[in-house]
């Protein structure tokens, strides 16, 4: 379902300037080499911790987590392929995509045929470096542009990967904001990819800014922000927090939110209320979007929505994983991510938070007939509200008719086909005039 709605009220209502430079944070994080584990992950979290009071968790190698075990830690200091006279053709210092993730150490002279079994290229995109990993493969490899590999015709090459895979720990970050209730909204992004600006860093930047936004606001709900290595990170967090998962009422995985493409929202497995909130905001955002049904492939919504947990977690993306040509290549760089796209994504996610936190139940104090608005000064207030982008008279009439203790504000906004922010403004007017009571 691809939709464009020219009404931008919900997203614009939450689209005040982000509390940090989103693109600047992406730029700062881009050079770091990240993987499932290692010092690059710690460096990434240390930078995020300059903005948030982030709790850094270390989980020891070998720890049992559900059906998995925390892997050994991988770190790399350098790597290259050189000619026999020492001229470096491929150098990890030029791009951390050049080395397959979790490559074991190697040093020696290899024939071209031997080296070919450890080289990854993209024949259909010959100028790009692919992103490849071998987390559990006990192997090593280089990722290089296909045209460079074709030009490497020497019989032998000097190869070195200065890395180690040894007992250590898995590192993740967690930031918790208590609200007036213990019901939680869970946000998650992955932190395990090296220099991929959209598929990794855009989610980190937008989620960091969102956490700052929520920290500065009064919150009905509690909020938890998880910065995790993909798959094993979510599995580890779930294993360590299994007894408290019933507090999670809404959740969202953020990824690929920095490219200029349309939004894609992937629904939760159970059809949770987060699905309605996200669809509502996107419908009134003015941006192109598509709502996708749940499927068991993608990002960490797979773990949160596994049948033993079935948490109410969806996934918000712009570019859909595996479908845009820059995906998992060196073209997913700082030029692919756009500052304005990051800001639009921040506005959409902020608006979703406003819906989740503001969705309440009201009931008319006296529901018999339509109340007289004029003697309560509501016509004048509506005029002032409308000048500020608030409620119209029709919005107020919708609210007063549906305020029966059974229809939430989101129910009303969907029924009236208006942005949530306007029905919420109408509710404030009616509440101030003592026409309704909050029965949430």
pLDDT digits (tens, 9 = 90+) for 169-206: 999 999 999 999 999 999 999 999 999 999 999 999 99
The pLDDT score that the predictor gives to residue 291 is 98
Give the integer Cα–Cα distance in Å for 351 and 206: 13
Q: What percent of the chain has pLDDT over 90?
A: 90
CATH for 73-166, options being 3.90.1420.10, 3.20.20.150, 3.50.30.90, 3.30.70.1710: 3.50.30.90
- Take residue 231 and report the two structure tokens written for it: 């798959």
CATH for 361-438, options being 3.40.190.10, 1.10.10.10, 3.40.220.10, 1.10.730.10: 1.10.10.10
Going by pLDDT thresholds of 50, 70 and 90, the confidence category of residue 370 is: confident
The pLDDT score that the predictor gives to residue 62 is 98
- Take residue 410 and report the two structure tokens written for it: 């989101």
Instruction: Identify the sign of the CA torsion 176, 180, 181, 184.
Output: negative
Mean pLDDT of 53-77: 98
Domain with CATH 1.10.10.10 in the chain: 361-438
Closest to 128 (Cα-Cα) out of 312, 331, 376: 331
**Is this model's pTM higher than 0.85 or not?**
yes
HSE-up of 427 (CA within 13 Å, CB side)? Answer: 25
């Amino acid at each position: 379902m691809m939709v464009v709605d020219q009404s931008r009220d919900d997203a614009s209502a939450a689209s005040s300037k982000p509390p940090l430079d989103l693109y600047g944070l992406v730029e700062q994080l881009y050079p770091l080499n990240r993987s499932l584990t290692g010092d690059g992950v710690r460096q990434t979290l240390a930078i995020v911790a300059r903005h948030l009071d982030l709790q850094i968790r270390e989980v020891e190698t070998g720890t049992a987590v559900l059906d998995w075990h925390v892997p050994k830690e991988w770190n790399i200091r350098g790597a290259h392929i050189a000619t026999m006279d020492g001229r470096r053709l491929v150098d990890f210092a030029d791009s951390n995509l050049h080395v397959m993730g979790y490559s074991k150490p190697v040093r020696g002279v290899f024939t071209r045929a031997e080296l070919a079994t450890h080289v990854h290229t993209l024949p259909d995109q010959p100028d790009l470096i692919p992103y490849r990993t071998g987390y559990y493969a006990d192997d090593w490899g280089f990722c290089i542009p296909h045209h460079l590999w074709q030009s490497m015709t020497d019989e032998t090459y000097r190869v070195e990967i200065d890395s180690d895979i040894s007992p250590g720990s898995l590192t993740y970050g967690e930031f918790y904001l208590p609200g007036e209730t213990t019901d939680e909204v869970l946000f998650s992004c992955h932190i395990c990819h090296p220099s991929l600006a959209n598929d990794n860093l855009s989610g980190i930047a937008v989620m960091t800014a969102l956490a700052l936004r929520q920290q500065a606001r009064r919150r009905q709900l509690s909020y938890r922000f998880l910065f995790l290595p993909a798959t094993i990170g979510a599995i580890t967090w779930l294993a360590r927090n299994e007894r408290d998962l019933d507090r999670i009422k809404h959740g969202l995985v953020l990824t690929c939110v920095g490219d200029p493409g349309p939004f894609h929202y992937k629904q939760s497995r159970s059809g949770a209320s987060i699905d309605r909130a996200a669809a509502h905001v996107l419908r009134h955002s003015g941006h192109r979007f598509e709502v996708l049904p749940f499927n068991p492939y993608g990002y960490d919504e797979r773990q949160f929505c596994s049948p033993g947990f079935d948490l109410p977690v969806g996934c918000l993306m712009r570019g859909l994983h595996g479908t845009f040509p820059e995906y998992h290549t060196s073209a997913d760089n700082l030029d692919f991510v756009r500052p304005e796209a990051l800001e639009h994504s921040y506005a959409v996610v902020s608006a979703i938070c406003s819906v989740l936190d503001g969705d309440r139940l009201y009931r008319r104090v006296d529901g018999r007939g339509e109340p007289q608005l004029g003697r309560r000064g509501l016509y004048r207030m509506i005029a002032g509200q409308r000048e500020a982008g608030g409620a119209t008279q029709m919005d107020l009439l919708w609210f007063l008719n549906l305020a029966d203790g059974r229809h939430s504000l989101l129910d009303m906004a969907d029924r009236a086909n208006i942005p949530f922010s306007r029905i919420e403004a109408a509710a404030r007017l009616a509440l101030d005039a003592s026409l309704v009571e909050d029965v949430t």
